[in-house]
Amino acid sequence: MNNPAAQVRDAPDVETVVIGAGVVGLAIARSLAAAGHEVVVLERHGAIGQETSSRSSEVIHAGLYYPPGSLKARLCVEGRRMLYAFARENGIPHARYGKLVVATAEAELPRLDALAATARANGVSDIARLSAADVQAREPDLDCVGALLSPSTGVIDSHALMVALEGHIRSGAGSIVLNADVADLQARDGAPFEIATVSAGERTTLTARNLVIAAGLGATRLGSMLVADSRYEPPKTYPARGHYYVLDGPTPFRHLVYPLPRDAWLGIHLTLDIAGRARFGPDLEWQVEPSTVFDEEDGARRARFEREIRRYWPGLPEGRLSPGYVGVRPKIYASGEPARDFAMHDARDHGIARLVALYGIESPGLTSSLAIGAHVAALLPR
């Protein structure tokens, strides 16, 4: 470009904008800042991590379930290693409790073996097959006919993780702008992206050389503003709500306990938080619009949970479950369709240089976050 006026006009305000301050957007911004990018994270809420990232099971998954070779499989296994190291180095509370995937009927045993084969193909080398007696020795209250033990599954304080990521971003060449709701996006050939945000009713426009959309449930709406090629359509988002009940009082379990997965759903499982308190869920309810309202369904939901839990914990006492919270998965496949992989679209998909847009970052997105950060930063060389 030889026109100096055009050069001045087209000089971006910032090098790289990331839309979304959930765990994934923050992890991406941290990787970009570490690679020397001047990066600004735009977040519509008044604090980081107010949507899906603060409504998960907080499990560091080992990588048992996902099709070998998929982004979910690769980024989960890699992200899990990175997350344990990052948690250790940054003093983030976490616990490697280990997890038992249980078969509750003889007919389910071959599915345990199939799951073990998938896990090994994904590079999860530490899983062990346990007999019912082995399980009894470890967890006397658990009723099953066999199980898989995944020692490297754990939990992490996801809020502390996000605060640590924020610290890394701010101590690099990065900043986070809160209450910045991105209302409009423009991409013109060769020119920087134009990003219009609304804050307290006031509209501001920022330009950026690179743009990352890590907006969770809001990604499809934003991605649709930047369609350059009529053959490309951003994936549609199908919200799917999951309720959690917490167990009142102490739990007899020391491991996380999962039934065998059904289709794209892991089943009502038991997880422990950092303090060792047990919670159960999430269930799976497809929605038209995302809602985090806890719907008790006049007791029908609680009864369903109790029935599911008693398949592996027959001793669950009456009246020990209290409503917890609701998280919404940003799925990119509809009810009844086969599960889809994470979608991380770059110019090869949508035809727009220096744009990376993420869709369908459901579980294991928390586990994979640091690996996703490294992956996206590699797509945006300086």
Ligand X SMILES: Cc1cc2nc3c(=O)[nH]c(=O)nc-3n(C[C@H](O)[C@H](O)[C@H](O)COP(=O)(O)OP(=O)(O)OC[C@H]3O[C@@H](n4cnc5c(N)ncnc54)[C@H](O)[C@@H]3O)c2cc1C
Q: Are 286 and 238 in contact (CB under 8 A)?
A: yes
Residue number with CB closer to ligand X (64 or 328) = 328
Q: How far is the CB of 250 from ligand X (least distance, A)?
A: 22
Please say which residue, 38 or 43, places its beta carbon nearer to ligand X: 43
- For residue 108, give Cα distances in angstroms to 120, 217, 262: 19, 35, 11
CB of 342 to ligand X, least distance (A): 9
Helix (H, G, I), strand (E, B) or coil at 80: helix
Please report how close the Cβ of residue 44 comes to ligand X at its closest, in angstroms: 4
* Choice between 19 and 100, CB closer to ligand X: 19
Q: How far is the CB of 9 from ligand X (least distance, A)?
A: 25
Nearest approach, Cβ of residue 5 and ligand X (Å): 32
Would you list the DSSP string of 137-193? HH-TT---SEEEEETT-EEE-HHHHHHHHHHHHHHTTEEEE-S-EEEEEE--TTSPE
CB of 232 or CB of 325, closer to ligand X: 325
Nearer to ligand X, 146 or 364 (CB): 364
Residue 109's SS3 state is: helix
Cβ closest to ligand X, residue 231 vs residue 262: 262
Binding site for ligand X (CB under 6 A): 19-25, 42-45, 50-53, 55-59, 61, 181-182, 214-218, 222, 242, 282, 327-329, 361-367
